[in-house]
Amino acid sequence: MRILIALLIAMSFPVYGFSAEKAAANPEGKKVYDGWCAQCHGYKGDADSFTKDVSLPQPRDFTFGTYKFRSTPSGDPPTDEDITKIIRKGNPGTSMPPWTRFTDAEVKAVVEHVKSFAPDTFAMERKPINIGNPPKASKEIIEQGKEQFKIAKCVDCHGKTGRGDGDKGWQDDFKTDWGYGIAPADYTHGWELRNGSTLEDIYRTISVGLSGTPMTSYLDSLPDDKRWALAHFITSLQLTRKLGLALKVGRVESLPSKPNDPAWEKVDYLDLPMGGQLMFDKREFTPVITNVRVRGLYTSKELVILLQWTDKKPNDGSDGKPADSVRIQFPVKKHEGSELPYFFMGTSKAPVNMWQWKASDKEKVFDMTAKGPDKVEPKDKAEATVMATYEDGLYSVVFKKELKSAKDDPVFEIGKFIPFSITAFDGRNGEDGLTKGAVSAWYYLMMEPPTPMQVYVFPPVVALGVLIAGIGLHKSLRKNKKG
């Protein structure tokens, strides 16, 4: 029966290059694929599925035989090991998860089934490039790579800091071979690089390119040493992601003067993974903003919170699309116990206070109380102020609040864990600044109490007392010995 079904499918859809003969010879691979892979990639491997309109990027169409992630030269199909790696590790930042539930035999069978969608392609010879031994990192080789980054015109797509904000990446013809738009990779987010983030991974991507995309192969155009230098420079751009549940906010005598002040680089941070808002209309299935970095400081008078995120193409709303925006929210009531307001704009019983900044009005804070998405009330006077900058693909927004109202605002108590969450909006992606955007879960910030004076005074006093007692004991023992 399975053979008959496979033959009927092949006869009905010959244009897709579906190999019924191979599919019929590999029933285990078809079984696993149909059960777990076809929902996105289609039963015929053509990506014609119900997820194609809500996935970013769209699922791979196997019938083309074109694969972005390979160890083989440009134009060659991937090896079985390449496809196995994708299945096992998934693709970060996409709907493709790591499939660890399958046995090695099942993965091997799936690989064979996937190859059957483009049999002519996989009849070609497949041989990975030789990576060899990488040179050691050094200041000199990174500088060489930085210069090569300009010479090879990597900045045209990826921007001079590697955040994917280059001008060429936003032209109308910057598309994949399948006709849909694609954004240049953000090299600073190493955890999102789908072909791997290690030095060897970067070198391989530079060498073989990403088939079907504007990312070309440099295997023939750049000598080996320059490709290694490029790989070292790109690797040096990667940020260290710091995940957790709470952010420590230290006390200082004076605050950084602006959002992009280099002094912020020395301040502790927390990275917040962002996901789509799927609970209320307008829903966002494919948010563009995937990570917001949060820092904080306070003085005896003020609290400041810095939010930073990559935006490859800023939007102030002048083109008719929504303006880029970000907001931070806190519970209105003092947080006690483990129960928190609903993480997206609260509820009538547990409202939240929201501070919002919009690129269309860069010096204004929209201070609101929310009791749900449909019950948002602006305050007569904002309790916070804001400063914002955009530079080389990075938004930096600082909210500032005076602490003089701490008695009337128990949310901001020093030494207490203060719940907060973030919502960020990419206007170019049609995210409207209210509901359609990228959201975080609840996290905590804690303004560290100033160190009590006794912490500095008590240890020396104790040490001095021990010393005096020791001297006294020593004299007493000598006196008794003489007696």
Q: Residue ranges per domain, the chain? A: 2-123, 139-236, 246-450, 458-483
- pLDDT band for position 457 (cuts 50, 70, 90): very low
Q: Give the whole-angstrom CA distance, residue 210 versus residue 217.
A: 7
Per-residue model confidence as pLDDT tens digits over 408-453:
565 788 999 999 999 999 999 999 888 999 999 999 999 999 865 4
Residue 52, pLDDT above cutoff 80: no
- pLDDT band for position 9 (cuts 50, 70, 90): very low
Per-residue model confidence as pLDDT tens digits over 289-308:
999 999 999 999 999 999 99
- Would you identify the CATH topology of the domain 2-123? Cytochrome Bc1 Complex; Chain D, domain 2 (1.10.760)
Backbone angles phi, psi at 350, to 5 degrees: -135, 80
- pLDDT of 465 reads 53
Q: Do domains 2-123 and 246-450 have the same CATH topology?
A: no
Residue 206, pLDDT above cutoff 70: yes
Residue 25, pLDDT above cutoff 70: no
Could you tell me which CATH class the domain 139-236 is placed in? Answer: mainly alpha
Residue 137, pLDDT above cutoff 70: yes
Residue 357, pLDDT above cutoff 70: yes
Pairing of strands 291-298, 376-378: unpaired
Residue 280, pLDDT above cutoff 80: yes
Closest of 221, 61, 206, 209 to residue 134, by C-alpha: 206
Taking residues 265-291, what's their average pLDDT? 92
**pLDDT higher for 282 or 162?**
162
- pLDDT band for position 361 (cuts 50, 70, 90): very high
Backbone angles phi, psi at 302, to 5 degrees: -135, 150
Per-residue model confidence as pLDDT tens digits over 372-390:
999 999 998 888 999 999 9
Q: End-to-end alpha-carbon separation of the chain, Å?
A: 111
- pLDDT of 81 reads 96
Taking residues 107-121, what's their average pLDDT? 95
Q: Give the whole-angstrom CA distance, residue 401 versus residue 142.
A: 41
Structure tokens at 42: 């289609």
Could you tell me which CATH class the domain 246-450 is placed in? Answer: mainly beta
Which residues is 399 bridged to in the sheet? 305, 386
The lowest-confidence range among 9-18, 156-165, 273-282, 467-476 is 9-18
